[in-house]
Structure 1
Amino acid sequence: MEQTFLGPVIQKLAELLAEEANLLKGVHKEAGSLKDDLEIIQPFLKDAEAKLEKGELGDASKVWIKQLREKADHIEDVVDEYIHHLRTKICRPEHGFVHFVRKTCHFAKSIKPRHDIASEIQDIKGSLREIKERGQSFGLRPFEQGSSGKKTTNVDASTGLRLGSLYIKEDDLVGIDSKSKELISSLVEGPSTRVVTSLVGEGGIGKTTLAKKVYDDDEIKRHFDCRAWVTVSQSYNVEKILKIMKSQICHGIEKTLRDNGSTIEELIDLLRDCLETKRYVVVFDDVWERDFWEVIKHAFPTKNKADRIIITTRNASISNSIKETPFDIVHELKPLSSELVWELFCKKAFPFEPETQCPKELDHLSHEIIQKCNGLPLVIVAIAGLLSTKEKIEFEWRQVLDNLNYEFENNPQLTSVSTIIFFSYHDLPYHLKSCFLYFGMLPEDYSIFDQRLYRLWIAEGFIESRRGKTLEKVAQEYLNELINRNLVSCHTRFGFQRRCQVHDLMRDFILARVDELCFSQILDKGKARFKGKSRRLSVYNTTKDALEILRGSEIRSIIFNNVDELTESFAISLFKNFKLLKLLDFQGAPMHNIPKEVGNLFHLKYLSLHGTKVKFLPKSIGNLYNLQTLNLCNTLVEEIPKEINKLRNLQRLLAQRYSHEIECSLNSYGSVRIHEGIRCLEDLLTLTFVEANDDGVDFVKELGKLTKLETFGIGKVTAAMGKELGTSIGNMNHLEELFINSIREEETLDFNCILSPPCSLRFLSLRCRLEVFPNWISMLQNLTGLSLRFTRLIDEPLKHLKDLPNLAFIRLYQAYDGEELHFEEGGFRKLKEVLLGKLEGLKVVKIDRGTLPVLENFQVEACLLMQEIPSNIKHLQNLKSLIIKDMPREFVAGLQPNGGPHYSKIKHVPSVSIQYKYGEWTKFQSYKLGEPDLLQRLQ
């Protein structure tokens, strides 16, 4: 039967019962009886939740659910405390007379806790009996699977889930071409004065989609000297917005202000200086307040260079108030016509049908369903995404229509948007509902890396274990299903890096459900957003008064988002007073020390210090028996205490540091020292970056015991370790991502000793001297990305790579000392991105006609002997971006549109950027082809 919020509690009791050898008979009996009671109550709860989602539940029944939830939370706390008590006893490794004395004393002390839990469980059972009886008096009945009339979708990856996107992709756009052409024309051909164009319309009508299509148009890129895109949203910060504008507009200006020291006035002055001589287009997406424009408009100088500003808003009064001159334009977006609605619906609902056509037997039902959508693209995409998961039979689709009709008839206050989103949510299996609601823990318009999301979901207990699959793989399937249903959008790079977020309308819906279900709490600027108790907390902006507000609560998970300060005293109080915490995410918080009191958090599963200023970990970190994830990325931690080896449940240890200031150096990636004994952490799935320490070969041998690793990164490797490291890597049969950095650039490593490379490897990064290309790389059939830096190969590497069937990304930086690279015909069928940097002997790049059919991005940097761009680049019709960095004057001059002999080769490329490094840091000034400043520099 599908799970409810009682599921994790039942599982918790099962864990307690598994401690059979350490339980008194009375405790075992009472715990087993309580588990049985919860399993009996769960069908009644399922019935209540189904009626709640249909709006059939009265206030008294809602209180019943709330009371049951609170009782479930209490059971979880009681069991966790008792398991802690048992584990503390088990973990004491003493022997002899001292052991006998301690054991005798401990037994005397433990009789009371064991008796207490049995007594407490009896009290809980009495309360549950009363709750069950009240539920029956409210008309609740055991819920039978399938009685809701909907089919639960299998989330297994083998079903070949289609990865959709809430933000409609360009090839899915309908009816937008004429609108975009009209808008582009007004931007390019309008008056010489500054013009503000407002796109107005209700949520989900496609304002952002239209603005983004126009913003990314080739004609716009060519016409304007600089562009900026800023998402404003409801909770905007003027200073942050100005800094975002500065980063997009003023890059390349050496006289810049430090981010942390700029006032609003200074930022406005800087932007005015940058824009004074440039023709610009700036988009402000999702504006909610007129006050925003009253401040931000001062950043734009008044001049006659045909500058353009685009604003998207739901509020027509804002667009009218912004219209300050006769030239300013207000575009009111209208719903799609019936013909365009049908076209979009069919594309999303029938992606695998011939020409995405609707089967005849579903034609009538489909038209009835889309009549509910009011012509809103977001709503059409949401309902079509839901229908795409259903069987293409009339019975299934009739149920969808009947349920929609029921919602509209019984909830007249619902709009089509909220109804469709509600219905899409209602159709989710229980485990996916929790995952979807979790986006409410994140700030508005926040985009999160999928790997971080997986780790959070796992720590929360949302991910069900499946035989033969890691929890990360199951979490990936969950996310794919949410994307497939068009509830979550994502952007993918290199075939495996994904950033995910939800539309603001989806987030509005999520927050309403979060409040109703007491799923989580948001503390924004020191004030609680919702009423009622919750187990999860998201802290925004400040920790002021947070402890006072939290006092007496039962919080188990806390995420800190953009907090302005986080003192050591705050952390100590948090660790002392909330000992049942299982998740703490301090990512990016201004935190300089992690107090030893963190060792109090026995139940902690997830601890992230990512991006903090923490330098040292206390030895008490070894007390975190249940810790599964420890994230130290981009902290100042250089050494992990040996107590880490006590954490036998640890699965993910992330500790890499990356410095943009030394990006082109071997030292740009930092690693941490870890002590002997790491072989004890046999459940590790992720380990990045560890330092090949003073133990050298012995330490590398230990790594070979970590056979479950999927992601592994190691730094400061020496030649003497090469053979043992190769053997250890050969033992990592599940490895998907591998990163190896040598101790110094001149250290030559030999990896041909890897006789059985992990066949599951998807990404490989080698930052070391090789000279000889490792033969086994050409055997990696699943390889998606390859990065070779400082390898100084003598042999041409591309001939070893051309037949890899899934290779999508190649980076070669100081990787090859030869004179010619050759992309041979018939190879590189899926390659989308190529980066060539500082190949000091390279003179010629050959691209055979017909190769690189899907290449989108090509970058060449500081290859000083190259005289010209490859001739056949003109045949790469999918090429979208060409970046030329620090290349010789003759090379760049030959690409200029007015007389450049090689301009014809690249004139089809939508975006061509010429960049030169400036200042002390690795920053680049960017120029367009034919730009006067660039031509002057080339003289």
Structure 2
Amino acid sequence: MADVVVSFALENLKTLLIHEANLFRRVKDDVNLLQDDFGIMDAFLKDSEGKGDDHYMVKELINQIRDTAFDAEDVINTYMAQVIKQRRRNLLLKLLHCFDHAAVLHHVAEKTPSVKRKIENIYANKTIFGIEAQSHADEEAEQSLQQQRRRNIEEEDVVGFGDDTAKLVDQLLDQGRLQREVISIIGMGGLGKTTLARKIYNNSVIKNHFDHCVWVNVSQEYKTRMLILDILKCVGQVSDETNKMSDEQLKGELREKLKGKRYFVVMDDVWKPQFWDEIRTCFPNDSNGSRILITSREKEVASNASSTPPYFLPFLDEEASWELLCKKVFRGEKCPSNLESLGRQLAESCKGLPLSIVVLGGILANKEKTHQRWSNFIGNVNWFLINDDDSKRCSDILALSYNHLPRKLRLCFLYVGVFPEDFLIPARDLIQLWVAEGFISVQNGRRNMDEIDVAENYLEKLIDRSLIQIASRRSDGGVKSCRIHDLLRDLCIKMSSQEKFYEVHVNSAYVRRSLNNRRIPRRLSIQGNIDFDSISSTSTSNNSSSVGSLLLFTSDFRFNHLKWASKNFRFIRLLSVVVNDLNLDLNFPKEVGQLVFLRGQWRGGYAVNVWKSFPAFICKLPYLETIHVQGWIEMSIPNEIWMMKQLRHLYIPCGIALKSPSKVGHSLSNLKVLSLVHVGEKTSILFQKSLFPNLRKLHLGNLVQDVVDESMASEILASLESLRNLQTLKLRMFKFGQRLDLFSSSSSSSKLTKITFVDCEYLDSNHLMGSLGKLANLRILKIRGWRISTSQLHFMAGEFPQLEVFKMIGLRDIETWELETHAMPNLKHLVIDRCTSLRNLPDELWSLANLRMVEVSNIETDLKEKLVIKQSEMKENGYSCKLIIN
């Protein structure tokens, strides 16, 4: 992975030197030389990726390139900080504090020629260093690892797959589906996909049902010709003439031998989606119920092979985990009673991953079976699985998924390890961190996409590769929160620490030691209640300024923590603080204003924090793109915020007061997200002046009752016509008049896809719905806590043409709902909660072709009884929509 981390550092440096050329005018020649040298180093890294990694000279050179890149980054940061600081001074101070521009970059330029000479030497001896091609030894190692992976699981008695086996066997034998069908089992490495497939393959009913049963191991480095020959050997004799056939002739030969036969072929461990395209013509479709079963870690493999939804293999439950561990450790004997409690804890710590349980069982089986010995493993299971020499195969197997990732996804995946163990990761926070770190680049040709869109796509790709798990989804189907299995997290931390990508520390001693190392990591994640006072009292290395990102996860947060961070990490680009159980009056320390490179700043938490003010010096940070402050800010945002040309995301969940700019021409031209703004008499003026030309998401709130009357609400909504790129709108505690043409201009509403009303008041609900129903691209509508005078909802034909999600929560006055034919034809998901007066759901609802889920809860008893009957009817008739009654 070193080449990816170092390559990222080099690319950042090259980009920085180009984009900030005005800061380097006095050292232009040195900069040009550095750019050329960095380009050569980066080309070498990309050319040598995956080749010759085991040669000590190649590895040593990669380490030298990393050190050179990091040194260059530190020097360039120092230079830029001095230039920026000098520009802030008046003329007299500039003369007193001038510095030698050329000398600053000189010692970095001295290092690069020696690195270039070594690169040239390696290129001149490609064969010796293994750069030219992947060696045969590497292929053998990969095959050995694949065999070890299968042996780890298959040698064990099968545990916990009874229901999975039954479901898949029924699907394979379904006589109602005679077309040839491809079925896929998808899950992360070590989850037991091969074990389940083998159990199905060996099932006597399966053996008797199919004329031919074939098992082939595919793996990452498969050869299509060899796979076809392996299948041919299973269905008949392979002659010398067959071995001489071309690849296309072999495919035809296999197709002829399978023609008219009902066959079952298992293709285990498929990695590449194009695999199916290469082999599909071998398998005839004779409408006789033939089946192909694929196992893979990647959802895209399944999607490319078949429209049949894949089977996502779940993790083992606690009981199955304990049973599997016992079988591995005691080999048929009963666990001693004094070890059962400890053993169950150890099994549970594997989080349902069979590979972890099997490898842990192998370690424990060879250890003394005593309470004291087993106690040593409590809290340290993952360390043994990742670091212990006897269990290194566990990390090697999981690392296969990492090695198979495209370069652009590797850093994003590794970065997930910065979060604490078992942390429920908000997808929005993770995506913003990726963007702030510079991991996301928008390629040319991606129209209407920004970094956030690309980052969301990256997250979905990591999920599809079974490396990240979805914890919850948003109403529009996007990921709301996610998590990573502990074993994968520890693997990320280990790999990142080795390459100084980041380090994770959970106690003060480790933090002190890290800060005093000669080569400090570029990112630090500090978790738990660290004694910052003791860290601050000790001298830290000058290298601490090399830290580019600092992430704090703590419940013991105080004023001096930010002060300490600002003092010790002068060149920090990202500062993230996630605080739990905090309820304090806080100030932003003035030292934060010295962090001239800061791009992202978070203040997280679950309790209410009160910040005395939002200081003007925050607004003077030239690179700041994201501000996320959790808590109340007593004073309004300073007027200097309008000078922040780089600001893209401003999240203040408890709300801010925002004034118009004092100077003409100032605007937040790059702002895309603004949440939450306290509305007032002058709010409409903010939007009438076109101060937010690229705003995509807006949250407006009337947090003081009756401040926004009907006339003011109408003005504010009319002013939003200027937001040509607005996609998401959320309104809180608005009071609307009896007549209101909401978003009447088709040009302004063309991009609105999501609208949310929270605790709003509207006198004519049907008029509002008619206005919303005309929005051509509205896909999500949420209404929570609505006060109205009417008791009926009526949706007319043609309204809500693209609506996919509709949520009604706390609409206590609604009694009846009527839905005309051809209204909301694309509705997929309906949620009704705490609508306690509602007596019916329209019959037309159940005729909607795209409806997939209806969730109702906290409703009137009579309606609940009707829906229970409807639920039973839907199950009997095989209705595609799922009705959930809570």
Report the TM-score when normalising by structure 2.
Answer: 0.63
Q: What corresponds to 2:699 in structure 1?
A: 713
Report the CA distance between 1:34 and its aligned residue: 1.0
8 Å Cα contact 2:796-2:823 kept in structure 1:
no
Q: What corresponds to 2:592 in structure 1?
A: 598
Q: Distance in 1 between matches of 2:713 and 2:658?
A: 19
Residue 484 (1) aligns with residue 464 (2): yes
8 Å Cα contact 2:14-2:35 kept in structure 1:
yes
Q: Distance in 2 between matches of 1:148 and 1:709?
A: 49
Q: What corresponds to 1:493 in structure 2?
A: 474
2:842 is paired with a residue whose SS is strand
1:587 is paired with a residue whose SS is strand
With 837-846 and 603-612 compared, the bigger mean Cα shift is at: 837-846
8 Å Cα contact 2:787-2:813 kept in structure 1:
no
Judged with a 3 Å threshold, the aligned counterparts in structure 2 of structure 1 residues 11 and 534 are, in CA distance, closer, same or farther, namely: closer
**Which whole-Å deviations, capped at 9, do the CAs of 1:699-754 have from their partners, x for residues lacking one?**
3434x4212111110112443334543344223232221101245x5776835353
Report the CA distance between 1:540 and its aligned residue: 1.4
1:754 is paired with a residue whose SS is coil
8 Å Cα contact 1:726-1:751 kept in structure 2:
no
8 Å Cα contact 1:824-1:847 kept in structure 2:
no
Q: What corresponds to 1:122 in structure 2?
A: 106
2:755 is paired with a residue whose SS is strand
Equivalent residue in structure 2 for 1:520, among 485, 489, 502 = 502
1:533 is paired with a residue whose SS is coil
Residue 556 (1) aligns with residue 548 (2): yes
Which amino acid is 2:523 matched to?
Answer: R
With 831-840 and 714-723 compared, the bigger mean Cα shift is at: 831-840
8 Å Cα contact 1:457-1:463 kept in structure 2:
yes
Q: Distance in 1 between matches of 2:464 and 2:577?
A: 31
Residue 471 (1) aligns with residue 458 (2): no
Equivalent residue in structure 2 for 1:735, among 726, 740, 746 = 726
Report the CA distance between 1:425 and its aligned residue: 1.9
Q: Distance in 1 between matches of 2:789 and 2:46?
A: 63
8 Å Cα contact 2:803-2:824 kept in structure 1:
yes
Q: What corresponds to 1:688 in structure 2?
A: 675
Judged with a 3 Å threshold, the aligned counterparts in structure 2 of structure 1 residues 801 and 784 are, in CA distance, closer, same or farther, namely: farther
Residue 765 (1) aligns with residue 756 (2): yes
With 598-607 and 831-840 compared, the bigger mean Cα shift is at: 831-840
What does residue range 79-118 of structure 1 map to in structure 2 within 5 Å?
Answer: 79-88=76-85, 102-103=90-91, 106-107=94-95, 109-110=97-98, 112=99, 115-116=100-101, 118=102
Q: What corresponds to 1:257 in structure 2?
A: none
8 Å Cα contact 1:564-1:589 kept in structure 2:
yes
Report the CA distance between 1:460 and its aligned residue: 0.6
State the aligned residue count.
648
Q: Any stretches of 5+ residues in structure 2 without a counterpart?
A: 136-158, 168-187, 198-262, 285-292, 307-388, 703-707
Q: What corresponds to 2:560 in structure 1?
A: 569
Residue 359 (1) aligns with residue 280 (2): yes
Judged with a 3 Å threshold, the aligned counterparts in structure 2 of structure 1 residues 632 and 105 are, in CA distance, closer, same or farther, namely: closer
Report the CA distance between 1:209 and its aligned residue: 12
Q: Distance in 2 between matches of 1:829 and 1:352?
A: 38
Which amino acid is 1:845 matched to?
Answer: L
**Which whole-Å deviations, capped at 9, do the CAs of 1:531-574 have from their partners, x for residues lacking one?**
8631111111122255559644321111222x231222232122
Equivalent residue in structure 2 for 1:509, among 462, 479, 491 = 491
Q: What corresponds to 1:537 in structure 2?
A: 524
Q: Distance in 2 between matches of 1:541 and 1:801?
A: 56
Runs of 4+ off more than 6 Å: 139-144, 146-150, 178-181, 206-210, 348-353, 386-391, 412-416, 746-749, 877-880, 908-911
Equivalent residue in structure 1 for 2:684, among 676, 697, 713 = 697
Q: Distance in 1 between matches of 2:493 and 2:91?
A: 51
Report the CA distance between 1:786 and its aligned residue: 0.9
Judged with a 3 Å threshold, the aligned counterparts in structure 2 of structure 1 residues 22 and 452 are, in CA distance, closer, same or farther, namely: closer
Sequence identity (%): 20
**Which whole-Å deviations, capped at 9, do the CAs of 1:738-785 have from their partners, x for residues lacking one?**
101245x57768353531343333321123223221545224454332
Q: What corresponds to 1:807 in structure 2?
A: 803
Q: Any stretches of 5+ residues in structure 1 without a counterpart?
A: 93-101, 151-172, 182-200, 211-338, 364-374, 392-411, 658-670, 881-903, 914-939
**Which whole-Å deviations, capped at 9, do the CAs of 1:814-868 have from their partners, x for residues lacking one?**
65856420345565555454344565764433333433764434224466xx743
Judged with a 3 Å threshold, the aligned counterparts in structure 2 of structure 1 residues 798 and 487 are, in CA distance, closer, same or farther, namely: farther
2:841 is paired with a residue whose SS is strand
What does residue range 248-259 of structure 1 map to in structure 2 within 5 Å?
Answer: none
Report the TM-score when normalising by structure 1.
Answer: 0.60
Residue 777 (1) aligns with residue 777 (2): no
8 Å Cα contact 2:773-2:801 kept in structure 1:
no
8 Å Cα contact 1:10-1:35 kept in structure 2:
no
Judged with a 3 Å threshold, the aligned counterparts in structure 2 of structure 1 residues 141 and 424 are, in CA distance, closer, same or farther, namely: farther
With 600-609 and 820-829 compared, the bigger mean Cα shift is at: 820-829
Higher relative contact order (CA 8 A, sep 6+): 1
Residue 38 (1) aligns with residue 25 (2): no
Residue 132 (1) aligns with residue 116 (2): yes
Report the CA distance between 1:361 and its aligned residue: 5.0
8 Å Cα contact 2:165-2:196 kept in structure 1:
no
8 Å Cα contact 2:854-2:883 kept in structure 1:
no
Q: Distance in 2 between matches of 1:730 and 1:826?
A: 29
8 Å Cα contact 2:624-2:646 kept in structure 1:
yes
8 Å Cα contact 1:610-1:635 kept in structure 2:
no
Judged with a 3 Å threshold, the aligned counterparts in structure 2 of structure 1 residues 559 and 206 are, in CA distance, closer, same or farther, namely: farther
**Which whole-Å deviations, capped at 9, do the CAs of 1:363-416 have from their partners, x for residues lacking one?**
9xxxxxxxxxxx9x9xx432685797899xxxxxxxxxxxxxxxxxxxx98877
Report the CA distance between 1:684 and its aligned residue: 0.5
Judged with a 3 Å threshold, the aligned counterparts in structure 2 of structure 1 residues 148 and 809 are, in CA distance, closer, same or farther, namely: farther
What does residue range 393-408 of structure 1 map to in structure 2 within 5 Å?
Answer: none
Q: Distance in 1 between matches of 2:800 and 2:851?
A: 15
Q: What corresponds to 2:412 in structure 1?
A: 435
Residue 455 (1) aligns with residue 441 (2): no
**Which whole-Å deviations, capped at 9, do the CAs of 1:348-367 have from their partners, x for residues lacking one?**
976997xx99625599xxxx
Q: What corresponds to 1:314 in structure 2?
A: none
Q: What corresponds to 1:218 in structure 2?
A: none
Report the CA distance between 1:437 and its aligned residue: 0.5
Q: Distance in 1 between matches of 2:599 and 2:123?
A: 40
Equivalent residue in structure 2 for 1:673, among 646, 649, 657 = 657
Equivalent residue in structure 2 for 1:648, among 620, 645, 648 = 645
Q: Distance in 2 between matches of 1:571 and 1:680?
A: 29
Report the CA distance between 1:800 and its aligned residue: 4.8
Which amino acid is 1:382 matched to?
Answer: R
Residue 820 (1) aligns with residue 816 (2): yes
Equivalent residue in structure 2 for 1:618, among 602, 605, 615 = 615
Equivalent residue in structure 2 for 1:423, among 379, 382, 400 = 400
8 Å Cα contact 1:386-1:424 kept in structure 2:
no
Judged with a 3 Å threshold, the aligned counterparts in structure 2 of structure 1 residues 208 and 540 are, in CA distance, closer, same or farther, namely: farther
Q: Distance in 2 between matches of 1:596 and 1:147?
A: 54
RMSD: 4.7
Q: Distance in 1 between matches of 2:64 and 2:873?
A: 59
Judged with a 3 Å threshold, the aligned counterparts in structure 2 of structure 1 residues 13 and 82 are, in CA distance, closer, same or farther, namely: farther
Which amino acid is 2:91 matched to?
Answer: K
8 Å Cα contact 2:721-2:743 kept in structure 1:
no
Report the CA distance between 1:619 and its aligned residue: 3.3
Judged with a 3 Å threshold, the aligned counterparts in structure 2 of structure 1 residues 725 and 176 are, in CA distance, closer, same or farther, namely: farther
Q: Distance in 2 between matches of 1:422 and 1:693?
A: 55
Which amino acid is 2:661 matched to?
Answer: G
Judged with a 3 Å threshold, the aligned counterparts in structure 2 of structure 1 residues 9 and 841 are, in CA distance, closer, same or farther, namely: same
Q: Distance in 1 between matches of 2:278 and 2:11?
A: 46
With 690-699 and 12-21 compared, the bigger mean Cα shift is at: 12-21
Report the CA distance between 1:639 and its aligned residue: 3.5
Judged with a 3 Å threshold, the aligned counterparts in structure 2 of structure 1 residues 475 and 496 are, in CA distance, closer, same or farther, namely: same
